[in-house]
C-alpha cells in the first residue's frame, strides 16, 4: 500500500500565468573613438533601419518570474494537462475531470475552464497527448490568494485480445481488465497588492436655503489624493464617485474635452475633486443628531444598486421563523448592512427560499440586468454555504427548486463582512424575478442571513407618446439662428453652401 501511494502520477499539470509582452530595452554605448568595443555589441537587435541610440527595441520579452498581481486587474493563467505514460504502456487514461477554485481572503469561488474540458470525461487523454485551457479571475481583494486545481482520473489496464477483428486504431484488439481512480491536487499561492492608494478630505460648504428652513440642502467639496502603488506606470482613464442618496456628485476633473488624462509613474501622486450636493427631490431618510446635524454616509465604492427596482411588498419567503423577515433584510439600505437585526432565520432545517420580484415585472418600463449579489451572513456554522439562483419563476417552492436545474450555483464562505458574488451576466440579462435557494450551511441546524442586496443596471425604455409639430410654412422669426451660423439656404457652420 505504501509503494502504491508513492507511485508517481501518470498525468502532469503545468500552470503558467499569462502576461502581456513588453518591448525589450538596450543600453547603447556612447560614440567614443577611444573605446575599442564595437557599438553593435551593446544592441539587443542590431539593424540598419532602427536608431541604435534609442533604448527601446522591436523585440518583445516576457517576464521571467510570476510578477506582482494588483487589485483591479484580471488574473489569467493557462493549464497544460499531459499524459506521461510511455508509448508501449498497457495503461490508458480515461474519465478525466478537472475543477478549479480561487480561495480569496474572504471566500472561495469556482472557476470555469475556457475552452471547456468536459470532453475529457468521455474520451480521456491519449498517450503522449496534452490538453490546454485557460482560467480568468478578477482580483478584487488584497491579500493571499490560492488557486486550487483538483484532477480525478481513471487509470485503466488494457489486455490484448487473442480473437476478433482488429481495426486501425486497435480499439477492438484490447479489452479493459481493471483500473483504479486516482486524484491529483495542485495549489498555487500568490499575493495581491493594492494598485492605488486613495486618501480623501471632505470640506463642508455653506448650505442652500430651501422653503423648509429646518433642513437646508448640504454641499461638500471632496478632495481625493491618488497614489500609484504599483511598480509600473498606470493611466487613469475614468474616475467615478458614486454618492449614496440623497446626495449626488459632479466631477471637477478631466471630464472636459481635449484634456489629457493623468499618467502616474510608480509612487507618483495626483489630486482630484468632486462636488457633492444634496438633492431635494430624493426622499431617503437621513439620520439627524440631537444638535440638528445630518449624518450621511458617502460610498464611492458601491455602484449600481437595484434597491429602487425591488418590489418589497411581493417578496415571499419559505421556511423562515418570521414570514416577513426575508423582506426585512432586503429592505435594509447599504448603511444598515452591518446591523444584526432584523435577520432571516430558517425554521425547520437549514434550507431557505426567498422569491424577489422587481417592480418592472408587469410593465415595459425597462430591462434589468443583474451583475452580482451582495450577502452578509456570519462566520459561524449557521452561514449558508450553497446558493442556487433561478430567474423569472412565479411558481418557485422547495419542490420546484429541487426538480429544476439552477441558472447558476454559488459557493459562499463564513464571513462577517458583505460578500459580493458575481453572476454570469449572459444568463441574467433580462430579470424580472429572482429566486434564491440556500441549500445548506456549514453544519448548523438553522441558517441565518443578515443582509441581501443586488448590483446591476436598469435600462429605461421610453414608451410615452411624442408630440410632433409640422409647419406648413416656416416663419423665420420662430427659428433664431445660433451664433456663428450665417443665414441663407444650404448654409452650414462653416459658411454658405456651394
- pLDDT tens column, 267-310: 899 888 888 888 766 555 554 444 444 444 433 333 346 887 88
Closest C-alpha among 437, 441, 356, 447 to residue 403: 437
Closest C-alpha among 219, 401, 217 to residue 298: 219
Residue 406 carries which DSSP code? P
Is residue 3 pLDDT above 80, yes or no? no
Looking at the chain, the whole-number percentage of residues with pLDDT higher than 90 is: 21
Task: Give the helix ranges, DSSP H, for 422-474.
Answer: none
pLDDT of residue 391: 92
pTM of the model: 0.49
Q: Per residue in 43-62, pLDDT tens?
A: 766 666 656 667 777 788 88
Listing from the earlier edge strand, what are the strands of the sheet with 316-318?
Answer: 316-318, 352-357, 433-441, 384-391, 408-411
Computed on alpha carbons and rounded to an integer, the radius of gyration of the chain in Å comes to 32
CA distance 425 to 420: 14
Mean pLDDT value of segment 311-321: 91
Is residue 241 pLDDT above 90, yes or no? no
| Between residues 77 and 253, the one the model is more confident about | 77
Lowest-pLDDT range of 57-66, 173-182, 250-259, 278-287: 278-287
pLDDT of residue 497: 37
Is residue 436 pLDDT above 80, yes or no? yes
Q: Per residue in 140-159, pLDDT tens?
A: 888 889 999 999 998 888 76
Is residue 312 pLDDT above 50, yes or no? yes
**Which phi and psi angles does 236 have, rounded to 5°?**
-90, 100
- Those residues whose C-beta lies under 8 Å from the C-beta of residue 384, and which sit 6 or more positions away, are 350, 352, 375, 377, 412, 438, 440, 441, 447, 449
| Between residues 412 and 23, the one the model is more confident about | 412
pLDDT of residue 163: 58
Tell me which residue has cell 458614486: 242
Is residue 246 pLDDT above 80, yes or no? no
The answer to whether 21 touches 63, Cβ cutoff 8 Å, is no
pLDDT of residue 6: 67
pLDDT of residue 365: 58
Mean pLDDT value of segment 64-80: 84
pLDDT of residue 461: 59
pLDDT of residue 109: 87
| Between residues 251 and 3, the one the model is more confident about | 251
Domains and their CATH numbers in the chain: 2-17+65-193 (2.60.40.3880), 22-61 (no CATH), 196-295 (no CATH), 307-460 (2.60.120.470)
First to last CA, the chain: 95
pLDDT of residue 211: 53
Give, for 36, the enclosing helix (H) or strand (E): none
Lowest-pLDDT range of 18-22, 202-206, 318-322, 473-477: 473-477
**DSSP codes joined into one string, 345-401:** EBSSSS-EEEEEEBTTTTS-SEEEEEEEEEEE--SSTTSEEEEEEEES-SS--HHHH
Task: Report the chain's mean pLDDT, rounded to a whole number.
Answer: 77
Is residue 342 pLDDT above 80, yes or no? yes
pLDDT of residue 382: 92
pLDDT of residue 252: 83
Is residue 100 pLDDT above 90, yes or no? yes
pLDDT of residue 140: 84
Mean pLDDT value of segment 171-187: 75
Highest mean pLDDT among 59-68, 196-205, 209-218, 294-303: 196-205
| Between residues 490 and 261, the one the model is more confident about | 261
pLDDT band, very low/low/confident/very high, at 389 (cuts 50, 70, 90): very high
CA distance 405 to 198: 43
Mean pLDDT value of segment 386-391: 94
Is residue 69 pLDDT above 90, yes or no? no
pLDDT band, very low/low/confident/very high, at 330 (cuts 50, 70, 90): very high
Mean pLDDT value of segment 11-16: 90
Is residue 210 pLDDT above 60, yes or no? no
Amino acid at each position: 500500500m505504501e509503494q502504491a501511494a508513492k507511485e508517481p502520477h501518470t498525468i502532469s499539470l503545468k500552470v503558467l500565468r499569462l502576461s502581456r509582452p513588453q518591448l525589450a530595452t538596450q543600453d547603447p554605448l556612447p560614440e567614443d573613438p577611444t573605446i575599442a568595443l564595437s557599438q553593435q555589441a551593446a544592441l539587443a537587435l542590431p539593424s540598419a533601419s532602427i536608431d541604435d541610440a534609442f533604448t527601446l527595441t522591436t523585440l518583445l520579452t516576457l517576464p521571467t518570474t510570476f510578477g506582482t498581481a494588483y487589485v483591479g486587474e484580471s488574473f489569467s493563467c493557462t493549464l497544460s494537462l499531459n499524459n506521461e505514460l510511455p508509448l508501449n504502456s498497457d495503461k490508458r487514461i480515461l474519465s478525466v475531470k478537472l475543477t478549479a477554485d480561487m480561495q480569496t481572503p474572504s471566500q472561495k469561488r469556482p472557476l470555469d475552464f475556457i475552452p471547456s474540458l468536459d470532453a475529457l470525461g468521455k474520451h480521456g487523454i491519449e498517450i503522449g497527448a496534452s490538453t490546454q485551457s485557460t482560467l480568468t479571475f478578477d482580483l478584487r481583494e488584497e491579500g493571499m490568494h490560492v488557486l486550487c486545481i483538483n484532477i480525478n482520473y481513471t487509470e485503466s489496464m488494457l489486455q490484448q485480445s487473442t480473437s476478433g477483428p482488429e481495426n486501425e486504431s486497435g480499439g477492438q484488439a484490447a479489452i479493459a481488465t481493471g483500473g483504479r481512480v486516482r486524484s491529483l491536487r495542485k495549489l498555487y499561492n500568490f499575493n495581491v497588492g493594492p494598485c492605488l492608494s486613495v486618501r480623501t478630505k471632505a470640506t463642508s460648504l455653506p448650505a442652500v436655503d430651501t422653503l423648509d428652513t429646518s433642513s437646508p440642502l448640504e454641499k461638500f467639496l471632496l478632495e481625493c489624493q491618488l497614489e500609484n502603488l504599483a511598480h509600473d506606470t498606470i493611466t487613469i482613464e475614468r474616475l467615478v464617485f458614486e454618492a449614496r442618496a440623497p446626495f449626488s456628485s459632479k466631477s471637477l476633473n478631466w471630464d472636459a474635452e481635449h484634456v489629457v488624462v493623468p499618467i502616474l509613474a510608480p509612487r507618483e501622486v495626483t489630486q482630484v475633486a468632486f462636488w457633492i450636493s444634496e438633492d431635494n427631490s430624493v426622499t431617503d431618510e437621513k439620520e439627524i443628531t440631537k444638535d440638528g446635524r445630518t449624518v450621511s454616509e458617502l460610498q464611492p465604492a458601491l455602484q449600481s444598486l437595484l434597491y429602487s427596482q425591488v418590489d418589497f411588498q411581493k417578496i415571499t419567503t419559505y421556511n423562515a421563523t418570521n414570514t416577513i423577515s426575508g423582506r426585512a433584510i432586503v429592505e435594509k439600505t447599504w448603511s444598515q448592512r452591518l446591523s444584526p437585526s432584523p435577520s432571516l432565520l430558517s425554521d425547520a432545517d437549514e434550507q431557505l427560499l426567498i422569491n424577489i420580484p422587481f417592480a418592472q415585472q408587469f410593465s415595459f418600463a425597462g430591462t434589468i440586468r443583474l451583475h452580482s449579489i451582495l450577502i452578509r451572513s456570519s462566520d459561524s456554522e449557521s452561514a449558508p454555504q450553497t446558493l442556487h439562483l433561478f430567474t423569472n419563476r412565479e411558481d418557485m417552492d422547495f419542490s420546484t427548486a429541487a426538480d429544476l436545474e439552477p441558472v447558476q450555483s454559488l459557493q459562499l464562505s463564513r464571513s462577517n463582512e458583505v460578500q459580493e458574488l458575481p453572476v454570469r451576466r449572459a444568463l441574467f440579462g433580462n430579470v424580472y424575478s429572482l429566486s434564491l435557494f440556500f441549500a445548506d450551511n456549514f453544519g448548523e441546524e438553522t441558517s441565518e442571513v443578515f443582509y441581501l442586496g443586488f448590483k446591476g443596471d436598469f435600462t429605461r425604455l421610453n414608451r410615452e407618446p411624442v408630440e410632433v409639430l409640422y409647419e406648413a410654412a416656416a416663419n423665420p422669426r420662430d427659428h433664431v439662428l445660433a451664433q456663428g451660423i450665417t443665414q441663407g439656404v444650404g448654409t452650414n457652420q462653416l459658411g454658405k453652401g456651394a
